[in-house]
Structure 1
Amino acid sequence: MIQSCIKKKILEKAVSLEKFGMNDLAWEKDAAVTLINSLMNDDIGILGGSVYKIDSNNFMPMYDNWSCNPDSKEVSKDFNFRSKTRALEYINKYPIYLDERILFSLVFTEDVD
């Protein structure tokens, strides 16, 4: 079960996607980067994520995503750190144009519920 201090960090700036018919959370770029950096020393990893765009209240999947799987000989602490580094690299490199609202969903190694 996810620790309450980690859950609080995750939920703090999350955008619920329920109104778009998805039981998921997402973050704008700055919030996602801040969140992942705040989780760097926590015992949780990021298995991957997806990218969405909101334009005039229209929700559009961008069909862009990334994933990160543990190596067979990798201990969980090393995977957790590597997976967060990989997520940061992807999000920081993702192009966002002026006035675009891009959201990043994250798949954690533990359920946030």
Structure 2
Amino acid sequence: MSFFSEKYDTTWPDIYINLLKRGIPIHEYGINNWLLSREDALFVANECKNNGIAIAGGDVYELLDHEPEPAHDNWYCEVNTNESFNNYISRSIAKTIEYISTYRHPRGFEPYFIFVPVFELK
């Protein structure tokens, strides 16, 4: 069992999946997620906030020959002790938006982002 499944509810509701469909599905590569361009990632992050979804962190990818490759960059936002879920949503989304807005790939590739969503605290 992973850290995230122990601490967070990791069942993805349809509303979240529908937001991700703006991106590129990468299931065929063994990753149950979608790559989001910077513009789409910022849109999805704002919609997550509007729909009560926190983002525990995420990974950065690049496309090489049309295949996703990890860029070995990421961010995370842990829940503070006694923090309300609503506060965590606001704080995690703010951190996500800041990271995505300012991220520059070290080799100049266009970055793509994947999220680790949190729908409720266990």
TM-score by length of 1: 0.81
Structure 1 portions without partners, runs of 5+:
none
Per the alignment, residue 118 of structure 2 pairs with 109
* Structure 1 pair 20–4 and aligned structure 2 pair: CA distance change class (3 A): closer
1:11 aligns with 2:2: no
Out of 80, 83, 91, the residue aligned to residue 74 of structure 1 is 83
Separation of aligned partners in 2, 1:6 and 1:108: 9
How far did 1:96 drift? 4.7
1:55 aligns with 2:64: yes
Is contact 2:26-2:68 (8 Å) kept?
Answer: no
Structure 2 portions without partners, runs of 5+:
1-10
The count of residues paired between Structure 1 and Structure 2 equals 109
RMSD (Å) for aligned C-alpha atoms: 2.4
Separation of aligned partners in 2, 1:72 and 1:42: 23
* Structure 1 pair 83–96 and aligned structure 2 pair: CA distance change class (3 A): same
Per the alignment, residue 94 of structure 2 pairs with 85
User: Match for 1:32: what amino acid?
Assistant: A
How far did 1:77 drift? 0.4
* Structure 1 pair 56–5 and aligned structure 2 pair: CA distance change class (3 A): closer
1:29 aligns with 2:38: yes
Separation of aligned partners in 2, 1:11 and 1:58: 18
How far did 1:43 drift? 1.4
